[in-house]
């Protein structure tokens, strides 16, 4: 069965979008981005935005993030995958970035959460966006400490 991703989190005034590859099993089950309790996404954004995101309910997190003109989405709309690892993704269908361009006219920068999502960076840079590939917030990416990841994530709003 092909899995369907989550809808984009955006507003018309969104300027930066953080793009993951595809939601993990915990995120799909909860219908929430980065729902796995060990994923560092919300802690990283909390530091970058200076907002207490991790302790907030999901909808409040989204409102705070959107208030900073930051959106959240994935590069893939659908795929087949056993488990949650990016390496297991098969038959991937990319999201429609032309749709995002039409609906978020102030969008200027796309930040990729990890190398798998980052494979889309050259194509989207060619479309005129500034791009940044950041270390994955996934608990599976343990090669870097939280502090090392944060150094790269600090460039999200630059």
Domain ranges of the chain: 3-153
- Given the residues 14, 21, 27, 39, select the one marked as catalytic: 39
Query: Whole-prediction pTM value?
Result: 0.95
39 given a catalytic annotation: yes
In which band, very low, low, confident or very high, does the pLDDT at 72 lie, cut at 50, 70 and 90?
very high
Statement: residue 109 has pLDDT above 80: yes
Question: Any idea what the Cα angle at residue 116 is, between residues 109 and 88, rounded to 5°?
Answer: 145
Statement: residue 84 has pLDDT above 80: no
Q: Convert the pLDDT of each residue in 22-56 to its tens digit.
A: 999 999 999 999 999 999 999 999 999 999 998 99
User: DSSP per residue over 92-151, as a string?
Assistant: EEE--HHHHHHH-TT--EEEEESHHHHTTHHHHHHTT-EEEEE---STT--SS-HHHHHH
CATH T-level topology, domain 3-153: Uracil-DNA Glycosylase, subunit E (3.40.470)
pLDDT of residue 140: 77
In which band, very low, low, confident or very high, does the pLDDT at 87 lie, cut at 50, 70 and 90?
confident
Looking only at the bridges linking them, the beta strands covering 70-74 and 130-134 are unpaired
């Amino acid at each position: 069965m092909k899995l369907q991703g989550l809808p984009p989190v955006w507003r018309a005034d969104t300027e930066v979008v953080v793009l993951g590859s595809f939601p993990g099993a915990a995120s799909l089950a909860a219908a929430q981005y980065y729902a796995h309790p060990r994923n560092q996404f919300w802690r990283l954004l909390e530091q970058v935005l200076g907002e207490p995101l991790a302790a907030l309910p999901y909808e409040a997190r989204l409102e705070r993030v959107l208030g900073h003109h930051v959106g959240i989405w994935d590069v893939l709309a659908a795929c087949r995958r056993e488990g949650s690892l990016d390496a297991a993704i098969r038959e991937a269908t990319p999201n429609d970035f032309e749709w995002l361009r039409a609906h978020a006219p102030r969008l200027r920068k796309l930040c990729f959460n990890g190398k798998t999502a980052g494979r889309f960076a050259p194509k989207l840079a060619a479309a005129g966006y500034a791009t940044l590939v950041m270390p994955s917030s996934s608990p599976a990416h343990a090669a870097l400490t939280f502090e090392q990841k944060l150094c790269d994530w600090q460039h999200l709003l630059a």
